Amino acid sequence: RRGSGFGWAPVGGWWCFPVLLHPGKMTMTDLFMQAFNEFGNVLVLVGSADAVVPAGLKTMIADLSGVVGISAGEIKMFLCLMLAYPLGVVWRHLPTPTAKHMFSIVVGLYMLVFVYGFQWIHVIISASLAFLIMKVGGPKSRHITAAVVMLYLACMHIYRQVIDYLGWTIDVTFALMVVTQKLHGLAFNYYDGNCENPTDEQKALSTEKLPSLLEFFSFLLFPSGVIMGPCVEFTDYIKFANGEVEIPAPYLPGLRRAGMGIFYFGLSQVISSYYPTKTLLSDEKFLTSGNLFTRFGIQLISLIGYRTRYYFAWKFSEGAMILSGIGFNGIDKDSGKYRWDRVEAIDVRGFDFGQSLRQSAA
């Protein structure tokens, strides 16, 4: 395939490296975008959902998408969020740490390919870069590691903004944001485990040595959190994987979180049916009717409906983490009840009613 910018030159039936054609006709932005697109074409050759998803399932998803009016990507994500519940139970009952690590890698990778297609490779690239930096640079490479993974994520976000500005497309940045948090945390926990005079807070999550590649990718691809989180610390993950924590029955707390997620989903659907955000912004009748305070109030209600769809996904995924056991956080000293808040994607009350940005983000 040939054209302006980067093209692929077939030689003897094989695809060679990109060659630059007509560079004088393109700006630097054009070159960057074309190179990124061609890089994506290479990744299609590496692997895509077409190779692992049965044709019947793809047809069912496409038909369901047409009936309910949401994208196939959203349906795939929802299916994985539901599947994460039984997978969490299976993971918790596997007999050995190695079995749990292998299960996480195989199943988590399949879920990435199923939802994001060939874009799964970006998770592996970012993770491999981080591991290589920490392996070569040691504990003091924490800032370099954090900068590289954040830069990789930023490039993915910028690319998405260019090709789908203000759009809402399911792509790998959903998973990559969680992976970036995990890599960032691991880099600093590795430093904390090797620094002089660490604080009690540093000691709590520190690790003295890098995990093996099996443990590393198992941690990143853990099925209960690989699609949308929530993020878990490596030291917590490895303790539960090694069976070092005795876990009470997690079924009722996990189902409660699922119920919370379903509640937020219903709330989102009800509000959006009356006050759809995007429609309001382009509706001349709405923009010219009533007074400023009335329009502002309606938009505020509309945005509540818009963000509760995220509350649904986050709370629903917390339930899967609880069923895997990792959500268990000991016993409350005051009430004597079990706590299931070790891993939380969001504190909805704290976020919505925080008195400052700092409180909402805490």
Q: Which two tokens stand for residue 14?
A: 């094989």
Alpha carbons 168 and 316: distance in angstroms, whole number? 20
Tell me, what's the pLDDT at 74? Answer: 86
**265 within 8 A of 309, measured Cβ to Cβ:** yes
Q: Residue 225 CB: number of other CB atoms within 10 A? A: 30
Amino acid at 219: F
- Residue 10 is classified by DSSP as E
The predicted-structure confidence for 158-209, as pLDDT tens digits, reads as follows: 998 888 877 777 889 999 999 999 999 999 999 999 998 888 888 889 999 9
pLDDT at site 33 = 60
Q: Furthest-apart CA pair in the chain: how many Å?
A: 73
Which position has the token pair 């009430």?
335
pLDDT at 117: 87
* Spatial contact of 250 and 327, defined as CB atoms under 8 Å apart: yes
Answer whether 149's CB lies under 8 Å from 173's CB. no
Nearest-angstrom CA–CA distance, 103 and 226: 13
Nearest one of 117, 225, 212, 107 to 177, comparing CA atoms: 225
Q: Which residues of 230-255 are buried (b: 16+ CB within 10 A; e: fewer)?
A: bbbbbbbbbebbeeeeeeeebeebbe
* pLDDT score at 32: 54
In one-letter notation, the amino acid at residue 107 is: V
In angstroms, the Cα distances linking 90 to 224, 236, 320, 321 are 11, 18, 11, 12
Instruction: Enumerate residue ranges in the chain where pLDDT < 70.
Output: 1-52, 362
Unique residue bearing structure tokens 């692997």 = 47
So what's the pLDDT on residue 169? 79
* pTM (2 d.p.): 0.82
DSSP 293-347: HHHHHHHHHHHHHHHHHHHHHHHHHHHHHHHHTTT---B-TTT--B---SS-S--
* pLDDT value, residue 306: 87
d(CA 128, CA 122): 10
> Could you say which DSSP state residue 338 is in?
B
pLDDT of residue 31: 57
At 340-352, the pLDDT tens digits run 999 998 889 888 8
